C-alpha cells in the first residue's frame, strides 16, 4: 500500500472529512493532501478546502497528523507535581527555548505515582508528541519500553542516569547532599537530623539523603547521632517532623532538609519549639527557591540550576529532530548558597 493510500485510509475514519470533500467538490484524497500540507494541490482549490473546513469547524486530529508528518512540534513534560516552584522554574527555561522555535509544551503531573506516569506517557504518545521530558531515573520498565517502541524521543531531568542510552540533563543529587554535610561538619555540628522527602520511587530524595550520610560519616560523625525523618513536600509535614526530631533527639543542633519547602516548614517547627535559627539550631535546604533569600533569617541552601536545566532540555529536543537515536548527557553543577540559617554548633 502506498503512503498516499495509507493517509486516505486514516482520513476515512473521520466522517467529517467526507463532508469537507463533498462541500468543496473534491476527493477525500485531495482534502488529505491539504491537511498534510502537501504542495500538489492548486492554490484556488486549497483555499476552497480551507474555507469549507473553517465553515464546518473541522480541526484535523492532532495525533493522526503527527504520525503522518512525524513532526507535531509538541513536547510533553511529566513532573511529580506542578505545585513546587522548583519545577515551574525549570518549565520556564524549557518554554523559553521551545516557544521561539514554534514548539508547544504539554504539562502533566503524576502525584509521585509511577503507574500514573505510564498512563500519561501513553496519553501523550496518542496525542502525537515529538518528545517527553521525565523527572528522575526511576520509572516503570513499561514506560521507557513504550517510548522506545514508539520511537518517541525522551530525556531525564533533575538527575543523571547511569544508563548511557538515556539522555539526561540534570545534576548529581548526592553531591548536593554532600555539600550540606561538609558545611555542617565544618561548623562543628555532630548531632544532626535529616528531613527527607519520601524516598520510595524518588531517586532525587534518596540520593540527597545518601550523599549527606556518606559524607557525614566520612567526616567522623557517628551514624547513631544522625536522626532521619521522611515527610511529603509540604510545610505542615516538615513542621510536624521537627516535633518528632526534638522528642527523640533533643541534642540535635542542625537539620538538613532535602528541599526548601521542607526547610521552610522546619524553620516554623523550630520556632514552635522555642528554638532560634541559627543560634540554637542550624538549617540547610535544597533548591534555592526565590523565597529562600527573603526569609528571616535567609535560608542557606543548595542551589539547583533549574532554569538552565530547562533550557538544556529544550535545546536537546530542538536539535536534530529527525534523529531519534541521539543521546546526550549534560551535568550541571550544584552549589552551596550560604545565608543566615547556619552557625557554629552550640556548646
Q: Is the pLDDT of residue 27 over 90?
A: no
How far is the C-alpha of 115 from the C-alpha of 35, rounded, in Å?
Answer: 35
The pLDDT of 247-274, averaged and rounded, is 97
The cell for 279 is 543560634
Query: Contact, 155 vs 313, CB < 8 A?
Result: yes
Q: Which segment of 6-10, 11-15, 39-43, 285-289 scores lowest on mean pLDDT?
A: 6-10
CB 131 within 8 A of CB 221: no
Res 98: pLDDT: 92
Check pLDDT > 60 for residue 167. Answer: yes
**Strand, coil or helix: 338:** coil
**CB 84, CB 265: distance < 8 Å:** no
What integer pLDDT is reported at residue 228 of this predicted model? 98
pLDDT digits (tens, 9 = 90+) for 291-306: 999 999 999 999 999 9
- Segment 149-158 shows an average pLDDT of 94
Please give the average per-residue pLDDT across 15-19, as a whole number.
Answer: 66
**Torsion on CA atoms 301, 302, 307, 308, rounded to nearest 10:** 150
Read off the pLDDT band of 327 (50, 70, 90).
Answer: low
Residue 56: predicted pLDDT: 73
Share of the chain above pLDDT 90, in %: 71
Return the SS3 of 230: strand
Indicate the burial class of 94 (C-beta count within 10 angstroms; 0-12, 13-18, 19 or more): buried
Indicate the pLDDT class of residue 60, thresholds 50, 70 and 90: low
pLDDT confidence of residue 320: 62
**Band of pLDDT at residue 49, cut at 50, 70 and 90:** confident
Per-residue model confidence (pLDDT) at position 10: 35
Whether residue 5 is predicted with pLDDT greater than 60 in this model: the reply is no
Mean pLDDT, the chain, whole residue set: 88
pLDDT-based confidence at residue 197 (cuts at 50, 70, 90):
very high
156 has pLDDT over 60: yes
Helix (H) or strand (E) holding 68: helix 62-69
pLDDT at 112: 95
144, pLDDT greater than 90: yes
Does residue 29 carry a pLDDT above 80?
no
Lowest-confidence segment of 7-16, 220-229, 324-333 by average pLDDT:
7-16
For a pLDDT cut of 70, what percent of the chain falls above it?
87
| 303-314 pLDDT tens trace | 999 999 999 999
N-terminal to C-terminal alpha carbon distance within the chain: 82
Q: 123 pLDDT band (50/70/90 cuts)?
A: very high
pLDDT at 22 over 70: yes
Residue 28, Cβ density class (10 Å: 0-12 exposed, 13-18 middle, ≥19 buried): middle
Identify the H or E element spanning 256.
strand 254-257
Amino acid at each position: 500500500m502506498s503512503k498516499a493510500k495509507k493517509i486516505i485510509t486514516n482520513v476515512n475514519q473521520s466522517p467529517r472529512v467526507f463532508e469537507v470533500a463533498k462541500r468543496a467538490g473534491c476527493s477525500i484524497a485531495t482534502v488529505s493532501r491539504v491537511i498534510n500540507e502537501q504542495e500538489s494541490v492548486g492554490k484556488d482549490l486549497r483555499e476552497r478546502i480551507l474555507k469549507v473546513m473553517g465553515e464546518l469547524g473541522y480541526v484535523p486530529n492532532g495525533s493522526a497528523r503527527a504520525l503522518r508528518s512525524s513532526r507535531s512540534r509538541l513536547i510533553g513534560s511529566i513532573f511529580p507535581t506542578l505545585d513546587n516552584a522548583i519545577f515551574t522554574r525549570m518549565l520556564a527555561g524549557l518554554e523559553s527555548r521551545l516557544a521561539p522555535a514554534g514548539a508547544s509544551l504539554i504539562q502533566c503531573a503524576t502525584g509521585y505515582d509511577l503507574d500514573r506516569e505510564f498512563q500519561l506517557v501513553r496519553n501523550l504518545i496518542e496525542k502525537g508528541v515529538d518528545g517527553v521530558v521525565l523527572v528522575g531515573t526511576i520509572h516503570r520498565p513499561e514506560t521507557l519500553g513504550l517510548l522506545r517502541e514508539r520511537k518517541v524521543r525522551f530525556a531525564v531531568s533533575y538527575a543523571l542516569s547511569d544508563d548511557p542510552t538515556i539522555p539526561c540533563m540534570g545534576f548529581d543529587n548526592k553531591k548536593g547532599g554532600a555539600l550540606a554535610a561538609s558545611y555542617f561538619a565544618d561548623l562543628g555540628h555532630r548531632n544532626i537530623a535529616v528531613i527527607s522527602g519520601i524516598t520510595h520511587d524518588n531517586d532525587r530524595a534518596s540520593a540527597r539523603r545518601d550523599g549527606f550520610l556518606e559524607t557525614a560519616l566520612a567526616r567522623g560523625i557517628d551514624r547513631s547521632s544522625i536522626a532521619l525523618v521522611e515527610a511529603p513536600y509540604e510545610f505542615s509535614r516538615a513542621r510536624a517532623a521537627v516535633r518528632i526530631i526534638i522528642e527523640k533527639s533533643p541534642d540535635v543542633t542542625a537539620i538538613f532538609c532535602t528541599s526548601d519547602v521542607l526547610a521552610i516548614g522546619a524553620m516554623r517547627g523550630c520556632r514552635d519549639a522555642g528554638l532560634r535559627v541559627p543560634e540554637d539550631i542550624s538549617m540547610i535546604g535544597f533548591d534555592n527557591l526565590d523565597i529562600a533569600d527573603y526569609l528571616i533569617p535567609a535560608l542557606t541552601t543548595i542551589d539547583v540550576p533549574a532554569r538552565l536545566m530547562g533550557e538544556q532540555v529544550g535545546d536537546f529536543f530542538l536539535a536534530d529532530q529527525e534523529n531519534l537515536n541521539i543521546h546526550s548527557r549534560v551535568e550541571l553543577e550544584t552549589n552551596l548558597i550560604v545565608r543566615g540559617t547556619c552557625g557554629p554548633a552550640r556548646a
